[in-house]
Structure 1
Amino acid sequence: MKKAYRVKKEADFQKVFHGGRSMANRQFVIYAIEKEGQAHFRVGLSVGKKIGNAVKRNDIKRKIRHVLIELDQEDKVREDIDFVVIARKPTGSMTFHEMKKSLLHVMNKAKLLK
């Protein structure tokens, strides 16, 4: 995923948390805020230490990024939005396809898909 597609700064994370809306299912929480005039979406990822060690957390983030790259290639994600994906504990034992299905479900509920 390109650096331009990432929410990296703490101030940007806080804007999404405090100014945006949230939607959740058992595996993920998504906070989203609309940003007019943006050329593409931006995403921040958060996987807490309760889920596992660094290797496990990085694996989960890699899978989430892969799902988002696939969605971007299919042009399914709205461009005018910043969002943060927070992984919950059940994601530690999920396969890629289960993770993709769950993430699509919560993104659809949050109205992030076209």
Structure 2
Amino acid sequence: MKKRRRIKKNEDFQKVFKKGKSFANRQFVVYYLEKEGQEEFRIGLSVNKKIAKAVTRNQIKRYVRQSFFELNDELPQNMDYVIIARKPAATMNFHETKKSLEHVLKIAKVLRRSSIDNKKSHDRIMKK
């Protein structure tokens, strides 16, 4: 994921926290804020030091970035997202992380389900 798609400044994080909406599941809290005129979505990540050591925290961040990269076509582009990882995220592999993020984004009603549903129906057809 390109660096221009990342939220780095504290004031940008605070805008999303104060003006945005939040949704959560056991592993992640997702805040999002619609930004008029923004062509690409941006993500900010927060993984507390209490969750795990640096290697694991960085791994969680890589998994979240890759999940958003793969969900690129199904997400509105004019948004800022801030993802806060909770303790259970430290024990998850990539596929579990992606599934959990899809779940919380579906709850937030920002995820367009087209390709995920198509993949599931394709998998069902292939099993027959």
**Bucket of the pairwise TM-score, normalised by the shorter protein:** over 0.9
- The one-letter amino acid of 1:107's match is L
For residues 11-32 of structure 1, give each alpha carbon's deviation from its aligned partner in whole angstroms, at most 9, with x where no partner exists: 0000000111110000000111
Q: CA deviation at 1:112?
A: 2.2
* Structure 2: tracts of 5 or more residues without a match: 113-128
Distance 2:35 2:111 in 1: 15
Partner of 2:78: 80
- The one-letter amino acid of 1:70's match is E
Distance 1:19 1:10 in 2: 14
* Structure 1: tracts of 5 or more residues without a match: none
Bigger radius of gyration among the two? 2
Q: CA deviation at 1:37?
A: 1.2
Q: Which has the higher contact order (CA 8 A, sep 6+)?
A: 1
Q: TM-score, normalised by structure 1?
A: 0.94
Q: CA deviation at 1:7?
A: 0.8
Count of residue pairs the alignment pairs up: 112
> Is residue 30 of structure 1 aligned with residue 42 of structure 2?
no
Percent identity over the alignment is 59
Point out 4+ residue stretches in structure 1 off by more than 4 angstroms.
none
Q: Note the 1:21-60 alignment, pairs <5 A.
A: 21-60=21-60
Q: CA deviation at 1:4?
A: 1.5
For residues 33-61 of structure 1, give each alpha carbon's deviation from its aligned partner in whole angstroms, at most 9, with x where no partner exists: 11111101111000001110111100110
Partner of 1:108: 106
SS in 2 for 1:58: helix
